[in-house]
């Protein structure tokens, strides 16, 4: 069990990639905090998993745009579990609109959640992990952190920032025993994509050389690897989990 005895926080852990990552960590022996918005499915998800995994899953309400809530998440986790060994900095939102039509408020909201929120969580994690002298932070970037796409100016700006911030944090944290990496998912088969009409869905599939969408558990497996001791000499990098999307066109 690769994560036995480890304590893990997953932001945006109530659904999709986040929930798949929570389950993989539990399967591998970790205690896991699902951090997600108050009033969503997080508490129910944690309760169900806690029953299946011997009291190793709990829920903490956290809005990553609120520094006080982020700092409280880490303080409470340390108090209850004793430390934080790994963090999946996964909370985020999408945003599609022509750039000339995007309002300041909409642009800044995407940035605040997808970039500033990632920084707030990473900063809180670093403070805990520096005291411990160990830990692994994995930020969720995107294929759109590596390339552009029309009508996604805010999202690509945020995810590109996550990729480069990961490099900087990896350099800073390395001498203190902490690793910082990122994952760049392609289009993943989640209920959000299932709502698309078939023509658009097939168009997305065709963009991946592997000719299919990714599965949440495939991204979760990448997180598990980077969070574990198996990735002990890896820091400051972004691991693409994209079916060859960013490799180029055949």
Q: How many other CB atoms sit within 10 Å of the CB of residue 8?
A: 31
CA nearest 40: which of 62, 22, 56? 62
Rounded Cα distance between 183 and 122, Å, is 14
Among 53, 130, 155, 187, which one carries the catalytic annotation? 155
End-to-end CA distance of the chain: 39
155 is catalytic: yes
- Tokens coding 243: 């079916």
Question: What does 97-131 look like in DSSP terms, one character per residue?
Answer: --GGG--HHHHHHHHIIIIIHHHHHHHHHHHHHHH
Provide the greatest CA pair distance for the chain.
52
Give the CA distances from residue 181 to residues 41, 76, 165, 225, in Å, rounded to whole numbers and listed in that order: 28, 24, 10, 11
Query: What positions carry a catalytic annotation?
Result: 155
């Amino acid at each position: 069990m690769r994560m036995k005895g480890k304590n893990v926080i997953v932001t945006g852990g109530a659904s999709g990639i986040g929930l798949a990552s929570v389950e993989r960590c539990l399967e591998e022996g970790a205690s896991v905090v699902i951090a997600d918005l108050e009033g969503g499915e997080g508490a129910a998800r944690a309760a169900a998993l806690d029953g299946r995994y011997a009291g190793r899953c709990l829920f903490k309400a956290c809005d990553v745009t609120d520094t006080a809530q982020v700092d409280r998440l880490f303080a409470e986790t340390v108090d209850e579990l004793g430390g934080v060994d790994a963090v999946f900095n996964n909370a985020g939102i999408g945003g599609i609109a022509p750039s000339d039509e995007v309002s300041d408020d909409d642009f800044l909201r995407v940035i605040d959640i997808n970039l500033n929120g990632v920084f707030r969580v990473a900063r809180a994690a670093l403070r805990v992990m520096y005291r411990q002298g160990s830990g692994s932070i994995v930020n969720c970037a995107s294929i759109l952190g590596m390339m552009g796409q029309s009508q996604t100016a805010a999202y690509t700006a945020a995810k590109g920032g996550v990729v480069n911030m990961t490099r900087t944090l990896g350099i800073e944290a390395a001498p203190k025993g902490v690793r910082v990496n990122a994952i760049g998912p392609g289009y993943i088969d989640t209920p959000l994509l299932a709502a698309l009409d078939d023509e658009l869905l097939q168009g997305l599939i065709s963009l991946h050389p592997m000719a299919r969408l990714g599965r949440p558990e495939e991204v979760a497996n990448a997180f598990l690897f980077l969070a574990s001791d198996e990735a002990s000499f890896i820091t400051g990098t972004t691991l693409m989990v994209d079916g060859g999307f960013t490799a180029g066109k055949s």
